[in-house]
Amino acid sequence: MSDLQPPERLIPIVPTAGSMPSQPGGPGIPPLPQRSFWEHLGGRPTFERLVRRFYDGVQTDPIIWPMYPADDLEGAIQRLTGFLEQYWGGPTTYSQERGHPRLRMRHQPFTITPAARDRWLVHMRDAVDSLELSALDDTTLWDYLERAAHAMVNSSEA
């Protein structure tokens, strides 16, 4: 996965006028505004809660915690939060500060085995659970995280 941008960043929460030709008002009326998934989930506070909970778990993990910068945990929290916010249609602060995500490239310095990926996913699963999202929102978020984690594996060695 060279580019982890979603195919469609704006989730139509309600059908737009343009997609409903029979809608009263007829053709030509402006489409209703669409909300991003980021906004739909509650914006910054939700994403920060997710990532802080994730890192609470990562810090207890003997397999993956040694890869992380213990002296810059807050920085790591901000980077992952910013990335996920941007991915889901929130502010683009991440790319303004860090440039193009190029996540696979940025993970090259770390040996990410299938076992490491699975530990990452355990902590992310716990973090997603803590948000208590609707089943649909949970699936939307989780499917992406799971696919992205599989794409980050760069070593088959244990």
Tokens 């992380």 appear where? 68
C-alpha 10/C-alpha 151 separation (Å) is: 23
- Residue 35, class by beta-carbon neighbours within 10 Å (0-12 exposed, 13-18 middle, 19+ buried)? middle
Q: Please state at what angle helix 44-58 crosses helix 73-87, rounded to 10 degrees.
A: 130
Residue that has been written with the tokens 């355990």 in this structure? 122
- The 40-79 site mask, x for binding ligand HEM (CB under 6 A), equals ------------------------x--xxx------x--x
Options 44, 104, 106, 125; binder of ligand HEM; rule CB under 6 A: 106
117 touches ligand HEM by CB under 6 A: yes
Judged by CB under 6 A, which of 41, 50, 116, 127 binds ligand HEM? 116
* Residues at the site binding ligand HEM, with contacts judged by CB under 6 A: 64, 67-69, 76, 79-80, 83, 98, 103, 106-107, 110, 112, 116-117, 120, 145, 148-149, 152
